[in-house]
Structure 1
Amino acid sequence: MKKQMLASLIALSLSNVAFAQDDEVKPFTMEGELGFISTTGNTDTTSINAGITAHQELENWSNDYLVEGLYRQETTEDENGDEEDVTSAQKFFASAQGNYKLDNPDYRLFGFTSYEDDRFSNFNYQATVAAGWNQKVLKNKRHTLEYSIGPGYAFVETQEGESQNSMIIRASTVYSWKISDTAKFSQTASTEIGDENTKSRAESALTATISGNLSMRLSFKLDHNSQVAEGVEKLDTETAVSLVYNFF
Structure 2
Amino acid sequence: MRNYLLLLFLMISCSSWAVDPFEDFHEYGQLSDEEIHQLHQGDLLYGDTEFGFILSRGNTNSTSFKLKGNLYQDFETWRNQFKIDSLYKRDHNDDTGQSDVTANRVFVSAQGNYKVGVKNSSFFIYGDYEEDQFSGLDFKSTIATGYGARVYQGVKNKVDIDIGPGLYRSVADEDSEQSEADKDKVGYLLRLAMQWERLVSERTRFNQDLSIEQSLSGLNSRLKSETALISQVIGAVSLKFAYVYRYNSKPEESKLKFDSELSATLVYSF
Query: TM-score higher than 0.5 here?
Result: yes
* Corresponding residue number in structure 2 for 1:43: 60
Bigger shift: residues 194-203 or 208-217: 194-203
Which amino acid in 2 is paired with 1:33? Answer: E
| Structure 1 position 140, deviation (Å) | 4.2
Contact 1:142 1:177 (8 Å CA) reproduced: yes
| Structure 1 position 238, deviation (Å) | 0.7
* Corresponding residue number in structure 1 for 2:20: none
SS of match in other structure, 1:228: coil
Percent same amino acid at aligned positions?
28
Which amino acid in 1 is paired with 2:73? Answer: Q
* Corresponding residue number in structure 2 for 1:31: 48
Matches within 5 A, 1:74-113: 74-76=91-93, 81-113=95-127
Which amino acid in 2 is paired with 1:85? Answer: S
| Structure 1 position 144, deviation (Å) | 1.8
CA distance in 1, matches of 2:194, 2:75: 21
Contact 1:200 1:225 (8 Å CA) reproduced: yes
* Corresponding residue number in structure 1 for 2:24: none
Contact 2:137 2:252 (8 Å CA) reproduced: no
* Corresponding residue number in structure 1 for 2:153: 139
Which amino acid in 2 is paired with 1:174? Answer: Q
Relative to its length, the structure with more strand (as a share) is 1
1:127-151 Cα shifts (integer Å, max 9, x gaps) = 1110011111123442221111111
Question: 1:154 aligned to 168, 171, 174, which one?
Answer: 168
Question: 2:85 aligned to 68, 73, 84, which one?
Answer: 68
**1:202 and 2:225 matched:** yes
Number of residues paired by the alignment? 224
**Residue segments in structure 1 that go unaligned for 5+ positions in a row:** 1-20
Please tell me whether Structure 1 or Structure 2 has the larger radius of gyration of its CA atoms: 1
SS of match in other structure, 1:103: coil
1:115-137 Cα shifts (integer Å, max 9, x gaps) = 00010013211111100111111
Which amino acid in 1 is paired with 2:187? Answer: S
TM-score, length basis structure 2 = 0.78
Question: 1:164 aligned to 175, 185, 191, which one?
Answer: 185
* Corresponding residue number in structure 2 for 1:182: 203
* Corresponding residue number in structure 2 for 1:244: 267
**1:193 and 2:214 matched:** yes
* Corresponding residue number in structure 1 for 2:23: none
| Structure 1 position 93, deviation (Å) | 0.4
Query: Which has the bigger relative contact order, CA under 8 A and spacing at least 6?
Result: 2
* Corresponding residue number in structure 1 for 2:76: 59
| Structure 1 position 242, deviation (Å) | 0.3
* Corresponding residue number in structure 1 for 2:3: none
CA distance in 2, matches of 1:228, 1:138: 35
Bigger shift: residues 189-198 or 25-34: 25-34
RMSD between aligned residues: 1.6
**Residue segments in structure 2 that go unaligned for 5+ positions in a row:** 1-29
Alpha carbons of structure 1 residues 22 and 165: separation in structure 2 relative to 1, 3 Å: closer
CA distance in 2, matches of 1:61, 1:165: 29
Which amino acid in 2 is paired with 1:55? Answer: Y
CA distance in 1, matches of 2:66, 2:127: 22
1:182-222 Cα shifts (integer Å, max 9, x gaps) = 11111101111222111111101111100000111001111
